Amino acid sequence: MGIASLMEASFITTTANRDEYSMIFTQNSAQWWFDTQSYSDATQMRNEFISLLYACATTDSDFFAAELIYGELVGNVRLHAPGRASIALSWNGVHPTLTVHDEEKNFTHSCELPADPMQENGRGLFIVKSLAVSLKFKDIIGDGSKVSVVLPVKRKGDLQHLFEFADEAIA
């Protein structure tokens, strides 16, 4: 999906009901709301997220790590928190911050490897912590949990505002 298509989609979905998939752009961020049980929503968001990173980041950025971090965090929400969730990509400095907000419940966060190396799960947050610039957790009483990760990608130096190039693409 091209950036112009993303921008056109944002104008359509900014007034969408939060019970449906929606996406909003602001000057330096993009935010998505979705049903964690919808595979198509998760796939569409991943494609949009990756498109934004490639459009706004320098070529020497670690896109693989950023996509793996995204996949681990969104995968955890889809697996462990049925219901509504939101994802925000904000880019106010050199590195963007990805925030995943599970609106349903708090969770126990451990960034350690499991004791049993053959265990099927328990490695996701360890992987995220290893690849991210930084990682933070925030539990919100009655409103789930937020995980914020500073991604290992760098903003293109010529972009003053994250989506300024999109106006030209649409015109």
Architecture of domain 3-12+22-170: 2-Layer Sandwich (3.30)
- 108-152 pLDDT, tens digit each: 666 566 677 667 666 777 888 889 998 887 765 556 778 899 999
Is the confidence at residue 170, as pLDDT, over 60? no
Is the confidence at residue 82, as pLDDT, over 60? yes
- Closest Cα to residue 169, out of 91, 44, 56? 56
Is the confidence at residue 171, as pLDDT, over 80? no
Cα angle 154-155-158, degrees, rounded to a multiple of 5: 140
- Please state the domain extents for the chain: 3-12+22-170
Long-range own/partner contacts, residues 48-55 (CB < 8 A, 24 or more apart):
48/1, 48/6, 48/9, 48/23, 49/87, 49/89, 51/1, 51/2, 51/3, 51/6, 52/3, 52/6, 52/89, 53/96, 53/151, 53/153, 55/3, 55/165
Give residue 109's pLDDT. 60
What stretches of 14-144 show up as alpha helix (H) in DSSP?
39-56, 63-80, 124-131
Give residue 102's pLDDT. 81
pTM (predicted TM-score): 0.77
Whether residue 110 contacts residue 127, with contact meaning beta carbons closer than 8 Å, is answered with no
Residue linked to tokens 């990756």: 50
Whether residue 87 contacts residue 41, with contact meaning beta carbons closer than 8 Å, is answered with no
- 4-55 pLDDT, tens digit each: 444 444 433 433 444 566 778 777 888 888 888 888 888 888 898 998 899 8
Q: Enumerate the β-bridge partners of residue 22.
A: 33
Give residue 9's pLDDT. 43
Give residue 20's pLDDT. 64
Give residue 140's pLDDT. 59
User: Rounded CA gap, 167 and 171, in Å?
Assistant: 6
**Average confidence (pLDDT) over 49-73:** 92
Give residue 163's pLDDT. 58
